Amino acid sequence: MLNKKRLYITAIIVLVLGLSAYFLLIEFNLFSEKIKCHRITNRAFLSELNSDEGEYQERQLYVSDRWVRQNMSRDVAVIYDSVTDGVMYVNYEKEEYAVLDLDSIEKKVSSVSGMFGEFESGLEKTDETKRIGRWNTRIYKLSLNAIQFKMKVDLYVAEDIRLPEVYDTFQVKWKAFQGLFKNLTDELLKIKGYPVKSEGKMFFAENYKLVRNDVIEYSRQDVSKSLFEIPGDFREVPFNIFMLRDDNNRGKINN
């Protein structure tokens, strides 16, 4: 009788442990197909001239051979699928998504950015090199000029970081949002490698600011395919440009 009780207890424990393991696998998408990708975390920093305090934003970028995912904030991501050639907005907090009509967006953004007048840009590849973290980088000098906007930035490019071609395609698609800054993408597409650091000055609205961007994490890893998919229970909504606001992704920092 005692042995039967032990057998029942053992069976119950095994069942409970098995169910727990099963639900953990579902919770963490461990059943999902794995995709090899590049994962990059960028930290952008903006401050007043001659100030040690400013504002920063962190964004994660995932690039596989097929997909690109750009996290705009903790809850918002933009996903590009090179097979369908579609760009999707996803809000995980509101459990909704939108298909981006890039032609319509480009017209609206361009009409607003027209107030800045003509825009000029330039990119110079120098012979200067510098060690940034674990990367040997080549320095590029980028300049952007318009009537009410100017920026000069040094880019430190790790030429041995080569992202799949789908990332260039995604950047071309993303030009729809850039309006005045379309030329910036055209210049950056000339670079072979990835900027792991940039720093310079920006003049806007009669005020100079310091701008800086740092890659604080780079890795090659396997991630769940679900990272690039729309959850089946999310509802589709019309897209508007304000959905990409990333106020909940900002922070204060002392330089």
Q: How confident is the model at residue 254 (pLDDT cuts 50, 70, 90)?
A: very low
Whether the Cβ atoms of residue 210 and residue 46 lie closer than 8 Å to each other: yes
What's the DSSP call for residue 62? E
Cross-strand pairs, 39: 62, 219
- The CB density around residue 229, as the number of other CB atoms within 10 Å, is 15
Indicate the pTM of the whole model: 0.78
Q: Does domain 34-254 have CATH number 2.50.20?
A: yes
**pLDDT tens column, 36-89:** 999 999 998 888 777 767 788 899 999 999 999 999 888 899 999 999 988 899
Whether the Cβ atoms of residue 18 and residue 26 lie closer than 8 Å to each other: no
Q: How confident is the model at residue 253 (pLDDT cuts 50, 70, 90)?
A: very low
Amino acid at 232: G
Element of type H or E holding 77: strand 76-81
Residue that is written with structure tokens 């106020």 in the block:
247
Q: How confident is the model at residue 251 (pLDDT cuts 50, 70, 90)?
A: very low
The domains of the chain are located at 1-31, 34-254
Helices (H), the chain: 2-27, 102-113, 166-174, 182-188
3-state secondary structure of 147: coil
Please compute the mean of the pLDDT values over residues 164-176 and round it to a whole number. Answer: 84
Residue that is written with structure tokens 């207890």 in the block:
9
